[in-house]
Amino acid sequence: MDDEIWTYAVVLWVALAGLLGEWQRRNGGSFIAGALTSMIFSPLIAVIIIATMRPNKAVIEKRQITGGGMKKCPACAELIKAEATKCRFCGEKVA
C-alpha cells in the first residue's frame, strides 16, 4: 500500500514538472529549465518562480513568425496574421 502511494506521488511530481516545463516554454523560456526547476525544488516553488518571470516576447514573436501564422507589418512592425492584406494597427496595405 505504501509503495503505491509513493508511485502515485512520483508520477504526479513528474507530470507536474512536465506541465510547468511546458508553461515555461510557452512563456519564451526553456522546457527543460522549467521541468528541472520543478523536479529539483518542488512544483509549488516552480509555479511561483515561473509566474513571477516576465514572458520573453522576442522568443514568442519569433516562434509565431517561424510557425507561419503571423508576420510583421513592414510599416509599423506589429505582428499581424499571415493572411492579412491590411495591417489592423496602422492601416497600411501589406503584400
Per-residue pLDDT tens digits for 42-88? 888 888 988 898 999 999 899 899 988 899 999 999 999 999 999 99
pLDDT at 86: 94
Whether the pTM exceeds 0.85: the reply is no
Query: Which cell numbers in the block locate residue 86?
Result: 491590411
Write down the residue that cell numbers 509549488 correspond to. 44
Find out whether 17 and 38 touch, Cβ atoms under 8 Å.
yes
C-alpha span between 49 and 21 (Å, rounded): 12
Percent of the chain with pLDDT over 90: 67
pLDDT tens-digit profile of 12-31? 999 999 999 999 999 999 99
Complete DSSP assignment for 12-57: HHHHHHHHHHHHHHHTTS-HHHHHHHHHHT-HHHHHHHHHHSPP-H
Cell output for 13? 511530481
Q: What pLDDT sits at residue 43?
A: 87
pLDDT at 1 over 90: no
